[in-house]
Amino acid sequence: MGAGVMKSGGDGGRRRRRRATRTQPMAEINVTPFVDVMLVLLIIFMVAAPLLTVGVEVDLPETAADALASDDEEPLTVTITADGAVMIQETETPEDELVQKLTAIASERTSQRIYLRADGANDWNKVARIMGALNAGGFTDIGLVTETGGPTLDGSDG
């Protein structure tokens, strides 16, 4: 009969060294909180970006024209509301003071581009008078702002 010797413990006969009870500082950078914060900021900016447009509410006409290329400067916008009020950016300006204010603004800017937003309820005479005032104020590059996706001249929808 044979007698066998059994070793106790489940380490398979290998000896293990116990680690010291002190914990060593981690050498890796934990980027998970950084990624979480960046994703939250991305969502906030995606939601807030459409709200940063000019705050004057107008019903723009729809055309099939493409968008104009943008400059490095903040775009200057003149708006004609449905009730006929003229606004430079978000400040209402009387028509008789429009040329003087535009001349002062044009002397400060490097670009001669200006955007004209006119509510579709305005008549063409009013829009043409304001375009003449923009030209007299020193702005020769006038862009008419419209909604995209409107009808084209060949009868198809944009």
pLDDT tens figures, 12-27: 556 666 655 677 777 7
Query: What pLDDT is stored for residue 66 in this prediction?
Result: 67
Could you report the per-residue pLDDT of 39-83, keeping only the tens digit for each? 999 999 888 887 766 566 666 667 766 665 655 667 788 888 888
Where are the chain's structural domains? Answer: 76-146
**CATH class for the domain made up of 76-146:** alpha beta
- Residue for token digits 């419209």? 146
Give me the mean pLDDT over the 81-87 stretch. 87
Q: What is the DSSP string of 56-98?
A: ----PPB-SPPPPPP-SSPPPEEEE-TT--EEETTEE--HHHH
